[in-house]
Each structure stands twice: as C-alpha cells, then as structure tokens.
Amino acid sequence: MSVIPAVVNRFFHQTASPPYFYALAERLAPWLTGVFLLLLAAGLYGGLYLAPSDYQQGESYRIIYIHVPAAWMSLFVYVLMAVMAGIALVWRMKLAEVMLIASAPIGAGFTFIALVTGSLWGKPMWGAWWVWDARLTFELILLFQYLGIVSLYGAIEDRRAAARAVSILALVGVVNVPVIHYSVEWWSTLHQGPTITKLDKPSIHVSMLIPLLLMAVAFKFYYLIAVLQNARLELLKREATSQWVKNLLEKTA
Amino acid sequence: MKPVRKQRLMLIGVMLAVLGAAAYFALKAFNENLMYFFSTSDVVAGKAPANTPFRIGGMVVKGSVERPGDSLLVRFTLSDLSREVQVEYSGILPDLFREGQGIVAKGRLDGRGVFVAEEVLAKHDENYMPPEVASSLKKTAERP
C-alpha cells in the first residue's frame, strides 16, 4: 500500500516515459513562451519605467530587476538539480537524469548573469567591480560547480554512468546553497543583507517590489522553456536508436 | 518502497548529513577569514592585525567629515554605535559616501591610532524606497 494516490502515481509514470514527455514539452513550449513574454514585458515596464528612483541609489538600483531574479534562479535551479539527483540515484529514473543535465548549463547562465550584473552594480555603488567577500566568493564557487557538472557529464562516454557521477557531484555541492543564502548574515560582508526573504516585512517599497516579483516569475518561466528544450535534445541523443525516435523521424520526413 | 531504494535513500541522507557537518566545521574554522571587515569595536579592542593591512567597517559619524586644505585628504570618524575610530583617506570617494552611510575602508592603523585608508568602499543597505518616502520617514523619526 503506497501513500501516494494512484492518480498522481500514474501521472508521474506517464510523464516519465520519454515519448510522452517529448510530445508534452513540445506542446507546452508556445504557451510557456507566451506567458514568459507577457511577464517579462510587464516586469521590465514596471521596473524600468513605472517604479520610482531610489532614495539613495537613484536610477542605478534598477539593475536589481535583472540581478536579483538571476541570483535567486542560480540557487533555485541548483536545489532542483539536487532533488533530481536524489531521484535519479534512488529510483534510477531516466527522466530525472535528463532534467538534471538539461538544467546545469541554464543554472550556470543565471549564475553568470548574477555575477556580471552584480559587478556592474558594484562599481558605481560600492566603488569596486569585485570584492572577495563571502557572498560573492561563494556565488563564484557555485558557478564553478555548475561548470564542473557540465564538464563531468561531457567527460564520461556512457550516459547512464555519467548521470550517476553527476548526480553525486550535484548532491555534494548542495551544501553551498544555504551558505550562499546566509552568507550575508553569518559574516560581515560588503554585500547588503536580504531585502525580501526575511521574516520581517520586506524592506522595499511596494511599487518597486511588484515588478521585481514579476521578473522573478518571468525568469522561472524562462527556465522552464529552456530546460524543456534542453531535455528534449538530451532525450533524442540518448534514445536515438529507439523506436519512438524512428517513428518521429518518419513522421517529419 | 523497495528495500534497495530505501537503502539508497538512507545512504544519500547520511551523505548529506555528514557533508553538512563537515561544511559547518570547515566554515567555523575559517570564520575569521570569511569576515570581510572588522568592526570599529574590534579594532579598538585590538582584535585587528597590527602590522598588515585590514578592512574596517562602520557608519560615517554625522558631522565628522572634514577636508583640511585643498588636497584630496579627507578625515572622518567611523562608528558601530559603540566605539569610534578616526580614519584618514586621500583619494576619490565613491558616490554613495556620505555622512550616516556605512562604508568599508582598507588600510592600517598608524601610531596615533588613526586608520590610514588606501581604499574606501561604500556599503549600501537593503532598503529600497522612493525619495519622498525616505524623507517622510525621516520627518516622523525626527518628531519627538
């Protein structure tokens, strides 16, 4: 007797089948893209045009609308990857391996954007492009973790063996996530403390907060679009000799 | 759940717990090094290194900024609301440098107990609001 209801169980089993997943991802893509573009337009319009300038930083603070969502995503994607790694190791689920691998370059991209925009923000505000404080250093390590995962997967020829190695690496690296999140509270850093994710009410004016949240959701949708696209490609590569891929090719040819 | 899966799940749980503990002790060991700056109280208490450059952080005390002469030399007092340290700096200050603002300076203490800075970075806080809100907040705070 399982604790998971049969309907949910069936849904997962069905979604985890490669041909079903491939078709589902294809069908979802235009909808996701539509929602992403709407959210992005609303977020950018709100953030760059409607939101007032900051009392201290003037207009320069507006880079927050890229920097903060990207930094959040860099952590969010890693946590998702760790969960996928756990599922891949315990249940040996192929789709979890595929999603893990498909997420890594996207996570690396978000981390890179967070670091670059942070640097562009740091120069006018702090007076330095880069400082070796705890927040920045651990975020840079996170970028190397993502790149390490991508390279390790590429270095092992057998994809299932590679996925297992990558899963362990991803799980080991997850310790960095809470360290990055709490770095500004545990140590004295040049980077300021958290604005939104604290138990107190957020210390950002509501007219600035709404576009920020819109951008955060937009980035999540971008991740979904990118990860599904990547996962489809990875599935095709893995299952190149299987019957459903052959059928697919015949249909399109 | 099948026993073999349960076993693997347990193994992962144990691995994460051990890793978490290892990370905790490693970070605790490097705690001092991970501090980007010393507070003014630390410096007054003599916790900062004597002969090597270090960073000091604090709030620029209101009304303490003075520019003697025509040079770029600036003198100001840093405080963490309990202890104060005099700072001297010669160079261009970041835009956000102002009285009442948090800053981080890198340099060393001279014989007089004055901190001679080679570099001054501004630390901005985590509050974002329009200027009107900031000024009205200030007014309510100043009201007795």
Q: Which residues of A touch B38 (CB under 8 A)?
A: 188
Q: Would you call A56 and B124 a contact, using CB atoms and an 8 Å cutoff? A: yes
Q: In this structure, are residues A104 and A146 in contact, taking their beta carbons and an 8 Å threshold?
A: yes
Residues of chain B with C-beta less than 8 angstroms from the C-beta of A132: 36
Contact check, Cβ <8 Å, B121/A195? no
> Considering the domain boundaries, does residue A193 fall inside one?
yes
DSSP H helix total and E strand total for chain B:
4, 6
B96 contacts A56? CB cut-off 8 A: yes
What distances in angstroms separate CA A136 from CA A106, A116, A208, B94, B106, one per listed residue? 19, 11, 24, 20, 18
Instruction: Tell if the CB–CB gap between A203 and B23 is shorter than 8 Å.
Output: no
Q: How many CA atoms lie within 13 A of A92 on its CB side?
A: 7
Q: Beta B73-79 vs B54-60: how paired, if at all? A: antiparallel
CA-based nearest residue in chain B for residue A138: B34
Q: In chain A, whose CA is at the least distance from the CA of B20?
A: A175
Local structure of residue A46 (DSSP, 8 states)? I
CB-CB contact of B105 with B115 (8 Å) = yes
Q: What is the pLDDT along chain A (253 residues), one digit of tens a residue?
A: 456 778 877 877 777 888 899 999 999 999 999 999 999 999 999 999 998 888 888 888 899 999 999 999 999 999 999 999 999 999 888 899 999 999 999 999 999 999 999 999 998 888 889 999 899 999 999 999 999 999 999 999 998 899 999 999 999 999 999 999 999 888 888 888 888 766 566 678 888 899 999 999 999 999 999 999 999 999 999 888 888 888 888 887 7
Q: Does A28 map to a domain? A: no
Conformational region of residue A236, where left means phi above 0, alpha means psi within -120 to 50, and beta covers everything else:
alpha
Distance CA A138, CA A219 (A): 22
Q: What domain count does chain A have?
A: 1
The domain containing residue A104 runs over which residues? 53-252
Packing angle between helix A176-186 and helix A64-91, nearest 10 degrees? Answer: 140
Shortest distance, CA A91 to any CA of chain B (angstroms): 7
- With b for 16 or more beta-carbon neighbours within 10 A and e for fewer, the A195-221 pattern comes to beeeeeebbbbeebbbbbebbbbbbbb
Kindly list the distances between the CA atom of residue B86 and the CA atoms of B63, B105, B117, in Å, as whole numbers in the listed order: 13, 11, 10
User: Would an 8 Å CB–CB cutoff place B123 in contact with chain A?
Assistant: yes
> Among B5, B6, B36, B42, which would you mutate to test the A interface (most chain A Cβ atoms within 10 Å of its Cβ)?
B36
Q: Give one word for B13, left, alpha or beta, with left for phi > 0 and alpha for psi -120 to 50.
A: alpha
